[in-house]
Structure 1
Amino acid sequence: MGQQKIRNMEEFAAVSGISRPTLSKYFNDADSVRRSTRERIEAALSQYDYRPNVYAVNQNRRKTRNIGVVVPNLADPFFSEIGREVELACLAAGYSPILLSSHGKPAQERANLDSLRALKPAGVLLAPFGKASDRGAIERFCKDVPVVTFDANVEGVCEAFVGTDNFQSVELIVEYLCRSGEPPCFFEMKTPSNPNANKRRQAYLEAMERHGFAPKIHQVPGEGWNFEEIGATEGGRLISAGAFETDTVLCSNDRLAIGMLSAAYELGVRVGHGKDCVMRIAGQDDHPFSRYTCPPLTTIAQDYGAIANRAASTLFRIIESETRLAEREETVFDGKLVMRASA
């Protein structure tokens, strides 16, 4: 005969002869009960088919071990990668991450926060949409739950922010492109999905001025998260029309650049450093696919691990101290230039 199926902790307490409070204490921290009691519980666990629902156990505590993680779009490999890093940081610290995607929709971001509120999380790590976010909803949520934002900064809201220094990063790649060839034009969407795009445009303007070149910005129609399609369609249109004033294009993000590389290939335009190459294309973010494009994409790498671990450790510090920060913290990491064959 198979093991008796136990549905909940009450039933397990009845068959094991161990009180429910003692079982809860054990499942929260096995070393917190006496050795003899721990051995009895572990013997009962081996005898009966029971494992506690970690989320249900958490909900019965005054302070749970659940950490909400909300990102704009898990279909975007950038957020998949940084979300993975955040999940690993939570697990390593003994927290249970609950990863939610807003699927590119600000209304879903608000719905995700409402869902998390019902789960009573110990804290939340949020990569917001920025200006498209419901600022009031985030502010109300932050009054009840410790929140650290990452990637995109909603200034003045939540306990802390962790991200990349866009001004340092853009200066780094503009300086390289100017030094190694013609100064870059800047390619972006008119309606960016992420506030980092606005900072990158401003950083480009300032960097070009410092290097003594006139900025050339090309904004194209498009919104949402179909970056590759926009880069291919609109970038291809500009290449065909000879609209770029120099042979070098710096894209607002790697996904736009990947689309433009595809358009250049379709048009028979050689991209890179070789004698038969007539165009250089660069991006920003070091998207997980950027090293595998043809040619591989020159870009700026964000330190996913550093951002994820600093955001998580800051949130854990707030949770474990049981006090809010006296002042809002902002931490930005430098980007790293990654030189590949495209520029």
Structure 2
Amino acid sequence: MSGKKIRNMEDFAVAAGISRPTISKYFQDPNSVRASTRQRIEEALARHNYQPNIFAVNLNRRNPRNIGVIVPHISDPFYAEIVRQIEISSLRQGYWAIVLSSHGEPDLEAKAIQMLQSLKLSGAVVAPLGYESDADLIRELRQAMPLVFLDSRAAEDQPFVGTDNAQSISLMVEYLCRTGERPCFLEMPRVNRNATERRAAYERAMANLGFEAHVLSVDSADWDFETVGFEETNKILDQGGFPTRSVLCANDRLAFGVMSAAYQRGLKIGRSADADLRVAGHDDHPLSRYTCPALTTVAQDYSGLATASLRLLLDMIGKSDEAAPKTEPAGPTLLEAKLIMRDSA
């Protein structure tokens, strides 16, 4: 056997001279076997340079240490940073995160959900498309494992961690009204519930301050926000310009497109007296500080969102392992955003 390549756990068990069930038990928990047996296994591991398929070991555990994560776009810096932090925190807690992307497509989100259902997972964190999500599949996933929604809700009655859009938008509206002309609002494409929540938050904030709301509607469900912002700005400028000299964009990526189009039209952006337009965003995208001028925005708590969603999921996993009836958190977990004042507004 020493000259034969060890391809799986069965081969290793024969090479080590230890039963397959004992080998499997060791890989699930090294402390679950006797010290002398553990020493023999570890000596055999070193001798044969064998590395088991950790993913398969995890799936075969009674209590698997894998969690699923679905986000709309892994390339979006917002989701990329949250996924990075969830992965790191999961590893520290002894869990592997299996990350899938729906690429903003309902059918691909459905396939990602079905993939999670086919795996033996402890639970999942999902940033859903929301309006276009398959409600039946979401319900099935929720019944199959502990489930936490992140960033956007798929239903009102499910565990959710996100930014308090009412607080974040109100914070920016009050700042813009206090420091200059009241803002109009360029809404984001209705790719998830954040679109309608932020629009409604803007309208409420303006009403509370006694001002008329000016919403610039976007007839799109495209995740290419920069292009949407660029094209909508050109349309608006062709039709006579924005209704006010301050533009609040529903997210930073829209603002990037607005600023690019305005620059190409020869407009000066900023908060100085000679500026033509003030532009503000939402999210604190990693590139927002590098635009010219740097983008004024409200910062979502990336670390807080990742930490809170994982903590909530692991708490639900712990409760689901107990004999007591399952209970879910009451109400959503909403985190506050922070005003980031830069030069664009």
Normalising to structure 1: TM-score of the pair? 0.95
Deviation at 1:248, TM superposition (A): 0.2
Match in the other structure for 1:336: 338
2:60 corresponds to which residue?
60
Name the SS of the counterpart of 2:332 in structure 1: strand
The aligned amino acid for 2:218 is V
> How far apart are 1:240 and its partner, in Å?
4.2
Q: Is the 8 A contact 2:316 2:328 kept in 1?
A: no
1:236-282 deviation per Cα after TM superposition (whole angstroms, max 9, x unaligned): 22134333121100011111001111111111111012343111000
Q: Structure 1 residue 51: deviation in Å?
A: 0.9
Which piece of structure 1 moves more, 19-28 or 257-266? 19-28
In structure 2, distance between residues paired with 1:142 and 1:63 = 18
Matched with 1:195 is 193
Q: Which amino acid aligns with 2:266?
A: G
Structure 2 CA distance, aligned partners of 1:221 and 1:267? 23
Q: RMSD in angstroms over aligned alpha carbons?
A: 1.7
Distance 1:36 1:121, change over 3 A: same
Q: Which residue of 2 aligns with 1:11?
A: 11
Distance in 1, Cα, partners of 2:331 & 2:187? 30
Structure 1: runs of 5 or more not aligned: none
Shift of 1:226: 1.0
User: Helix, strand or coil: the match of 2:187?
Assistant: strand
Q: Which amino acid aligns with 1:133?
A: S
1:99 is aligned to 99
Give aligned-pair identity as a percent: 49
Deviation at 1:4, TM superposition (A): 5.2
Letter aligned with residue 181 of structure 2: E
Q: Which runs of 4+ in 1 moved over 6 A?
A: none
Question: What is the Cα deviation at residue 44 of structure 1?
Answer: 1.0
Superposed counterparts of 1:53-202, under 5 Å: 53-158=53-158, 160-189=159-188, 191-202=189-200
Match of 1:291 in 2: 289
Greater Cα offset, 58-67 or 10-19: 58-67
Q: Which one of the candidate residues 302, 305, 315 is aligned to 1:304? A: 302
Give the C-alpha shift of residue 3 in structure 1. 7.9
Distance 1:330 1:230 in 2: 30
2:212 alignment partner in structure 1? 214
Q: What SS does the corresponding residue of 2:210 show, helix, strand or coil?
A: coil
- Check the 8 A contact 2:28/2:61 in 1, yes or no: no
CA offsets per residue over residues 78-105 of structure 1, 9 Å max, x none? 1111111211121111101100000110
Which digits, 9 at most, give the CA deviation of each residue in 1:202-255, with x for residues without a partner? 000010011111000111333221110111111122134333121100011111
Partner Cα distance (1:100, 1:58) in 2: 18
Among 257, 264, 267, the alignment partner of 1:266 is: 264
2:247 matched residue in structure 1: 249
Distance 1:326 1:249, change over 3 A: closer
The alignment status of 1:47 with 2:47, answered yes or no, reads yes
Asked whether the equivalents of residues 5 and 50 of structure 1 are also in contact (C-alpha less than 8 Å), the reply is no
Aligned mates of 1:176, 1:150 — CA distance in 2: 27
Per the alignment, in what secondary structure is the counterpart of residue 220 of structure 1? Answer: coil
Alignment partner of 2:211: what SS?
coil
Q: Secondary structure at the match of 2:339?
A: strand
SS for the counterpart of 1:341 is coil
Q: Is the 8 A contact 1:3 1:49 kept in 2?
A: no
167-176 vs 286-295, greater mean Cα deviation: 286-295
AA aligned opposite 1:185:
C
Q: Which amino acid aligns with 2:45?
A: L
State the secondary structure of the residue aligned to 1:47: helix
Give the distance between the partners of 2:318 and 2:94, measured in 1 at CA: 12
Distance 2:266 2:183 in 1: 21
Give SS of 2:149's match. Answer: strand
| Structure 2 unaligned blocks of 5 or more | none
